[in-house]
């Protein structure tokens, strides 16, 4: 596959990601994860994240170019996440990418982080094409998006309170499983019975929305009561059961959107899609219904520079104008608006 | 040496280009939030007016603080990317030095002030020399009362410069040997002079050695009661 060579930079939250794409071909993708730095605080600390990005960005950019086996002169464009995300974190990547683009005299494309997640399956699959319904679930966002065409999006629904990843983090903390919660609960669930406790699958009357705060409250209430009357199940059973509740809600709501729109293509992305049970059950349900499901590898589901570059590849191919040098980050950027 | 200087440590950011100490272009921004929207467009404007291309720049000078962090990081990320792309050397410069160099004083000890927000300031003593200044103690971040105590303990006359306007009026009452003066903010134009001096003394460095001078640990609010909870299972 060929196409423009694009350097992609992602710094919206707690991962610094830089990648080089040639068309939709990933020549290199490197990451500096800050997970250990934030784990000691039990969550992402914005100032800690921004400090780590400014340390990591220059060596990572260098590493991505070296690994791609290209000379910097071969870069056709620079793509950087412009929002949504933590303002201090976004600023580091956008300032770096913009200055790099300018000093190399190349166009700059500021990219919506969520559109990056929407695009990530394109880096792994040929058949992932609109119209499609895409589930985006991470520590910061949970949305169901109707992709009518590339660049034409309608948000059908999403969380009305906590993001799915946030629910995993809070519940893992409550259960003494540490941070980040998603991988911890995934791991703990391995030996658990997902039907041990029947946690509620909330918001039955709102087809595309979820409330993870509601689920969290019911889990906490249940656990407190079970502990008091001595009926507390094992921790793996509780982990597997609450994971099952989150997984069911995400899948059910996505298929509600699939039915309503009549699409035959489903995509998914965001860190929560690294969850093994979610991937497995999602695939079973898609197979049962005969719908195409496109979930890329966990490395492409979590934040990375390749997904950001991939949106720019599409923009360049479509002849879109690059960003003017006067633009700044937009922490509250919203897909489809 | 064709130099680009980037100043984002305070509420007034600026960009300057020069040949050695000779200014060839300058742009100033007083919107303290708009660093990233300002910097590259300002650099582009300066270079275009001078008829220079980015690769003509041989040295990138950047203010590494102390100062509010988001501004510092905008300037440092911009400077590092630029230097990396065009293969320029770098000159990291302290905001306090940039202010002190411009202070007009004969013999008074100079105390530049940078607003660090949350009621604190960064300060450092400098002593005047013929044609410049020299640091005369370490930089520190202090509360207004502490700064007042420092000034009260000074044996000689002092000149406070920089953003002392952010300090409460009570800071100055009863301080008879202290005068206040200008400049209020560091300027990229002044950085050309300092970077030229660093170049002549072989004190330039590369992008990998540039770090923001934060001078404060990140503010982290941790709810230890929930974070330290062992969970409800005995093996938690
Ligand atoms: Zn994300």
Q: What is the pLDDT of residue B225?
A: 47
| Average pLDDT along chain A | 94
Q: What CATH number has the domain bearing residue A162? A: 3.30.420.40
Give tens-digit pLDDT for B18-74.
Answer: 999 999 999 999 876 789 999 999 999 999 999 999 999 999 999 999 999 999 999
Q: Would the pLDDT of B145 be above 80?
A: yes
| DSSP labels, A206-226 | STT-B-HHHHHHHHHHHHHHH
Q: What is the pLDDT of residue A297?
A: 96
**Are A261 and A285 part of one and the same domain?**
yes
Same domain, B102 and B73: no
- Distance (angstroms) between ligand 1 centre and the Cα of A202 equals 24
> If you average pLDDT over residues A231-254, what whole number do you get?
94
Tell me, yes or no, whether A195 and A283 share the same domain: yes
- Residues near ligand 1 ion, CB 5 Å cutoff: A 138, 303
Provide the pLDDT for residue A45. 87
Q: Residues B15, B186: contact at Cβ < 8 Å?
A: no
Q: Are residues A146 and A274 in the same domain?
A: yes
Q: How confident is the model at residue B236 (pLDDT cuts 50, 70, 90)?
A: very low
Contact residues, A window 50-89, toward B, CB-based 8 Å cutoff: 50-51, 53-55, 57-59, 61-62, 72, 87-88
A300 confidence band (pLDDT: 50, 70, 90): very high
Q: What is the mean pLDDT of chain B?
A: 92
Q: How much is the pLDDT for B231? A: 60
User: How many beta carbons lie within 10 A of that of residue A299, not counting itself?
Assistant: 15
Distance A114 CA to ligand 1 centre (A): 7
Burial of B220 (0-12, 13-18, 19+ CB in 10 A): middle
Question: What pLDDT sits at residue B112?
Answer: 98
Residue A202 lies in a domain: yes
- B39, B75 contact by CB (below 8 A): yes
How many angstroms does the Cα of residue A263 sit away from the middle of ligand 1? 24
Sort out which chain A residues have CB atoms less than 8 A from B55's CB and list them. 103
Q: What angle do CA A287, A288, A291 make, to 5 degrees?
A: 50
- Report yes or no: B64 and A51 within 8 Å, Cβ to Cβ: no
pLDDT at A204 over 80: no
- Do B26 and B107 lie in one domain? The reply is no
Is pLDDT of A237 > 50?
yes
Within a domain: B225: no
Domain assignment present for residue B231? The answer is: no
Query: What is the mean pLDDT of the segment spanning A122-149?
Result: 95
Claim to verify: residue B19 and residue B51 sit in the same structural domain: yes
CA of B36 to the centre of ligand 1 (A): 22
Residues A291, A299: Cα–Cα separation, whole Å = 24
pLDDT of residue B228: 46
Domain co-membership, B48 together with B118: no
pTM: 0.94
Q: What is the CATH number of the domain that holds B147?
A: 3.30.420.40
pLDDT classification of A278: cutoffs 50, 70, 90 = very high
Full residue range of the structural domain in which residue A156 is found = 130-295
| B167 shares its domain with B146 | yes
Task: Name the nearest CA neighbour of A296 among A19, A26, A83, A12.
Answer: A26
Q: How many domains does chain A have?
A: 2
Of A48, A96, A326, the CB nearest to B220: A48
- A261-270 tens-digit pLDDT: 999 999 999 9
Please report whether residue A331 resides in a domain: no
Helix/strand/coil for B31: coil
Decide if B222 and A41 are in contact by the 8 Å CB cutoff: yes
Are A249 and A311 members of one domain?
Answer: no
Q: Please state, for a pLDDT cut of 90, what percent of chain A lies above it.
A: 81
What pLDDT sits at residue B104?
A: 76
Is the domain of B104 the same as that of B87?
no
DSSP A267-308: EEESGGGG-HHHHHHHHHHHHHHT-EEE---HHHHS--HHHH
Going from the Cα of A10 to the center of ligand 1, the distance in angstroms, rounded, reads: 9
A307 inside domain: yes
**pLDDT number for residue B233:** 67
Domain annotation covers residue B236? no
Kindly state whether residues A260 and A311 are assigned to the same domain: no
Residue in A103, A327, A329 closest to B81 by CB: A103
Q: Are B26 and B77 in the same domain?
A: yes
* B52 Cβ under 8 Å from any chain A Cβ: no
| A91 and A109 inside one domain | yes
**For the range B131-135, what are the long-range contacts, defined as Cβ-Cβ under 8 Å and sequence gap of 24 or more?**
B132/B101, B132/B197, B133/B97, B133/B100, B133/B101, B133/B103, B135/B97
Residues A76 and A149 in one domain: no
Q: pLDDT tens digits for B172-218?
A: 999 999 999 999 999 999 999 999 999 999 999 998 889 999 999 88
> Per residue in B93-123, pLDDT tens?
999 999 999 997 778 999 999 999 999 999 9
Q: Which two tokens stand for residue B207?
A: 């992008």
Q: Please answer yes or no on whether A102 and B76 come within 8 Å at the CB atom.
A: no
Q: Do both A106 and A148 map to the same domain?
A: no
Q: Are residues A153 and A185 in the same domain?
A: yes
Residues B36 and B120 in one domain: no
Q: Does B129 touch chain A (CB under 8 A)?
A: no
CA distance A72 to B85: 8
Q: Which of A96, A102, A173 sits opposite B227 (nearest CB)?
A: A173
Q: Is residue B168, in this structure, part of any structural domain at all?
A: yes
Whole-number Å distance between alpha carbons of A312 and A78: 8
| β-strand partners of A110 | A80
What is the SS3 assignment for A205?
coil
Structural domain includes residue B31: yes
Query: Could you tell me the pLDDT band of residue B234, with boundaries at 50, 70 and 90?
Result: low
DSSP A322: P
Q: Quick one: B101 and B90 in the same domain?
A: no
Is residue A121 pLDDT above 50, yes or no? Answer: yes
CA of A334 to the centre of ligand 1 (A): 13
Which site among B2, B15, B59, B73 would you substitute to test the A interface, given the most A Cβ atoms closer than 10 Å to its Cβ? B73
Residues A188 and A164 in one domain: yes
A324 part of a folded domain: no
Please give the tally of structural domains in chain B. 2
Domain assignment of residue B227, yes or no: no
Q: Is residue B232 part of a domain?
A: no
| pLDDT tens digits, one per residue of A44-92 | 889 999 999 999 999 999 999 999 999 999 999 999 999 999 999 999 9
Both B73 and B119 in one domain: the answer is: no
In a domain, A142, yes or no: yes
Do B83 and B13 fall within a single domain?
yes
Kindly state whether residues B11 and B73 are assigned to the same domain: yes
- pLDDT for A80: 98
Residue A232 and residue A285 in one domain: yes
- CA dist B197 and B203 (Å) reads 8
Residue numbers of the domain that contains B105: 97-180
If asked whether residues A148 and A115 sit together in one domain, one would say no
Residue A287 has pLDDT above 90, yes or no: yes
């Amino acid at each position: 596959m060929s196409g423009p060579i694009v350097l992609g930079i992602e710094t919206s939250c707690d991962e610094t990601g830089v990648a080089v794409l040639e068309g939709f071909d990933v020549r290199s993708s490197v990451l500096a994860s800050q997970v250990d730095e934030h784990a000691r605080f039990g969550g992402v600390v914005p100032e800690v994240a921004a400090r780590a990005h400014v340390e990591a960005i220059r060596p990572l950019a260098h590493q991505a170019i070296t690994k791609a086996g290209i000379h910097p002169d071969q870069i056709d464009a620079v793509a950087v996440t412009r929002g949504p995300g933590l303002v201090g974190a976004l600023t580091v990547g956008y300032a770096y990418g913009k200055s790099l683009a300018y000093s190399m005299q190349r166009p700059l494309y500021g990219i919506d982080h969520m559109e990056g997640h929407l695009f990530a399956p394109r880096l792994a699959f040929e058949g992932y094409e609109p119209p499609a319904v895409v589930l985006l679930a991470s520590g910061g966002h949970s949305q169901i998006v109707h992709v009518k065409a590339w660049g034409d999006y309608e948000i059908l629904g999403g969380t009305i309170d906590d993001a799915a990843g946030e629910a995993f983090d809070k519940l893992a903390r409550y259960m003494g499983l540490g941070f980040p919660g998603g991988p911890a609960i995934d791991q703990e669930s391995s030996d658990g019975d997902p039907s041990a406790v029947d946690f509620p699958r909330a918001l039955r009357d709102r087809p595309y929305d979820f409330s993870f705060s509601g689920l969290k409250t019911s889990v906490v209430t249940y656990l407190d009561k079970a502990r008091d009357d001595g009926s507390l199940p094992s921790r793996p059973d509780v982990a597997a059961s609450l994971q099952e509740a989150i997984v069911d809600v995400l899948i059910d709501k996505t298929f509600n959107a699939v039915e309503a729109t009549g699409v035959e293509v489903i995509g998914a992305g965001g860190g929560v899609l690294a969850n093994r049970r979610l991937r497995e059950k999602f695939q079973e349900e898609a197979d049962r219904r005969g719908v195409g499901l496109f979930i890329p590898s966990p490395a492409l589901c979590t934040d990375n520079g390749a997904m950001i570059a991939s949106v720019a590849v599409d923009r360049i191919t479509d002849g879109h104008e690059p960003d003017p040098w006067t633009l700044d980050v937009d922490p509250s950027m919203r897909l489809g608006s | 040496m064709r130099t680009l200087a980037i100043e984002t440590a305070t509420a007034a950011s600026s960009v300057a280009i020069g040949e050695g100490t000779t200014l060839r272009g300058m742009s100033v921004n007083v919107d303290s939030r708009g660093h990233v929207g300002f910097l590259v467009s300002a650099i582009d404007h300066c270079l275009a007016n001078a008829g220079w291309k980015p690769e003509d720049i041989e040295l990138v000078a950047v203010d590494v603080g102390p100062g509010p962090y988001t501004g510092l990081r905008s300037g440092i990320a911009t400077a590092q990317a630029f230097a990396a792309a065009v293969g320029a050397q770098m000159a990291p410069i302290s905001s306090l030095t940039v202010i002190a160099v411009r202070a007009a004083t004969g013999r008074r000890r100079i105390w530049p002030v940078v607003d660090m927000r949350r009621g604190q300031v960064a300060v450092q003593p400098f002593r005047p020399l013929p044609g410049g200044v020299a640091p005369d103690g370490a930089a520190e971040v202090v509360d207004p009362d502490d700064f007042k105590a420092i000034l009260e303990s000074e044996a000689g006359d002092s000149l406070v410069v920089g953003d002392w306007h952010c300090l409460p009026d009570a800071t100055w009452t009863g301080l008879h040997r202290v005068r206040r003066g200008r400049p209020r903010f560091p300027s990229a134009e002044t950085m050309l002079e300092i970077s030229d001096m660093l170049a002549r003394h072989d004190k330039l460095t590369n992008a990998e050695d540039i770090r923001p001078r934060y001078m404060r640990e990140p503010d982290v609010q941790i709810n230890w009661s929930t974070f330290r909870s062992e969970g409800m299972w005995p093996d938690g």
